Amino acid sequence: MTDWLAQFEDRGVHRTGHFQLSSGLHSDTYLQCALALTDPAFADELGAALAAEITVEIDVVVSPAIGGLLAGFVVARALGVPFVFTERKDGVMTLRRGQAIEPGARVLIVEDVLTTGGSAREAADVVEAAGGVVVAWAALVDRSTADQPLPFGATSLVRVTPSVWEPGECPLCTGDVPIDSPGSRRS
């Protein structure tokens, strides 16, 4: 069995410090999955491993841009199904670029990292508005916490439980530790 967290640490994907997450929360841990996905062979390994965990029939994989794009694509390739992505236009998640979801399509939502599930839930709303049915959720990394649980069950390759704070409660802020905002929604 592959130790994916060790693989991520070896590739500089798993970082510690002071981070503002895409959700707006602050954390002492960040996983920059984009670094893992820069190596096509490793990306394919990740996609195949995550796809192997999916136990329901899937017609299409959908991911929210930008973080979920590569993760969703390699999972779709491993499953042998089409890939569609949602993106924000004027702050609202939508389908663009001629992409569509067939009514009744069984959809797997794939993200790179899940913290609160906000972007994944927005993508699911787009799927459901198009008539698709979300039958499963997956991510390379699940970093949700007991204080901020996911609103759905998800399959993941890596599970980490970092310290996470609301911005006004972050001890790293009061300690004047410089903050990095590597997430895609705010940078």
Give yes or no for residue 59 having a pLDDT over 90.
yes
Give the span between the Cα atoms of 43 and 68, in whole angstroms.
Answer: 12
Give yes or no for residue 140 having a pLDDT over 60.
yes
Nearest to 100 by CA among 122, 85, 80, 90: 85
pLDDT of residue 8: 94
Residue that the structure tokens 């794939």 belong to? 110
- pLDDT digit string (tens) for 158-179? 999 888 889 999 999 988 788 9
pLDDT of residue 62: 98
- Across the chain, mean pLDDT equals 91
Q: Which residues have a Cβ under 8 Å from the Cβ of 80 and sit 6 or more positions away?
A: none
Mean pLDDT of 129-136: 97
Give the span between the Cα atoms of 184 and 187, in whole angstroms.
Answer: 5
Contact 39, 168 (CB under 8 A): no
pTM: 0.87
Give yes or no for residue 137 having a pLDDT over 90.
yes
Contact 146, 175 (CB under 8 A): no
Q: For residues 44, 3, 38 and 50, what is the CA-based torsion angle, rounded to 10 degrees?
A: 40
pLDDT of residue 186: 45
pLDDT of residue 143: 86
